[in-house]
A and B are shown apart, each in its own frame.
Chain A
Amino acid sequence: MNKQEFKEGIRDGFPICLGYISVSMAFGLTAVKSGMPIWSAILISLTNLTSAGQFAGTNLLLAQSSYMELIITTFIINIRYFLMSLSVSQKVDKEFGLKERLIASFGVTDEVFAVSMQRRSELTFSYMLGLILTPILGWTGGTIIGAVATSLLPASLTDAMGIALYGMFIAIIVPPARENRSVLIAVILAIAASYAFTYLPFLSVVSGGWSVIIITVVVSAFAAWLFPIPEEQ
């Protein structure tokens, strides 16, 4: 354990932690408001440490979906972590054995990945531990605050919070769609397909979980074929 490296990890992870508290508060609020028990919202945040993946999983649980839908949806949404972990695995130092890999990979989120890729030197296990620690605390702690606050709020206010989850999704989609025409087209196609699956009689027999999977795979593949991202990005 290298104390200096650990401290630098804590320093770099703290801004992520602050960002996570606010988002996970909204998750705790909306999950409990939608009918999840408080303990389950906290357990989801502690064991999943994802945004979109656990939001979608929670939605599926609330809809009493099958475990098969849950498995495939979680896989599809989180498959991007595969690529991030892959990049992290290329940057860790020689001291990273199997045990270190098993522990550090639990904390590879979008933000942890981004920060670790910005670091100039190789990634030590001490640094990664520090980097991951405060985001986990922030994500779980924020969920607890949000989940408990729900029971203290009036009904009109908690009903209004039902839209917050979708607000977060919009906050993730819109800025890149504004900058990048290919993302915008992919988003519009996905929305159009989602409407088709909701309202067209022969498509609306497909359950919500499966239609999201089909739309995601087909539209992403189509967008990748039409607009491949530039090499070496």
Chain B
Amino acid sequence: MSPFYILGGIAIMALMTYIIRVSPMVIFQKKIENNRIKSFLYYIPYTVLAAMTFPAIFSSTASQAGAVAGCVVAVLLAYFKRGLLVVALGAAATVFFVSMLGF
């Protein structure tokens, strides 16, 4: 990966994110009243993260058995409302132990 490609990419990410944050503060003074648009925006974080996680999570580590076990642990921990770090590290610890067992 060339550093110029990475730098260009980071500049694009930073600029896009900033434009989205700054434009309503600068341009718009009225509130969005359209409930359809509000609903559409409400679902976006969940659909985008779900689509990015599955099925990619199952090829995220060297051992697929470990990835499946890690995914199950992550869903269980999240279901019982553990924080982001606990869920992330719980999944990683599971992958680590499964790989230690030789799967």
Q: Which residues of A contact B (CB under 8 A)?
A: 19, 22-23, 25-26, 35-37, 40, 43-44, 47-50, 52-54, 56-57, 59-62, 64, 67, 70-71, 74-90, 98, 101-102, 104-106, 108, 156-157, 159-178, 182-183, 186-187, 189-191, 193-195, 198, 208, 211-212, 215-216, 219-221, 223-225, 227-229, 231, 233
Contacts and interface: CB of A to CB of B under 8 A. Distances in A.
A183 B49 CA distance: 12
B17 A61 contact: no
Interface residues of B, number: 76
Contacts of B89: 26, 164, 167
Given A80-B44, A186-B43, A191-B54, A70 B12 contact: yes
Interface of A, secondary structure class, is: helix
A75 B79 CA distance: 29
Contacts of A67: 8-9, 12
Contacts, number: 296
Contacts of B22: 85, 101-102, 105-106
Contacts of A36: 1, 6
B49 A83 contact: no
A54 B52 CA distance: 13
Interface of B: 1, 3, 5-10, 12-14, 16-18, 20-26, 28-29, 31-32, 35-36, 38-57, 60-62, 66-67, 70-71, 74-75, 77-79, 81-93, 95-96, 99-100
B70 A86 contact: no
Contacts of B18: 105-106
A194 B21 CA distance: 28
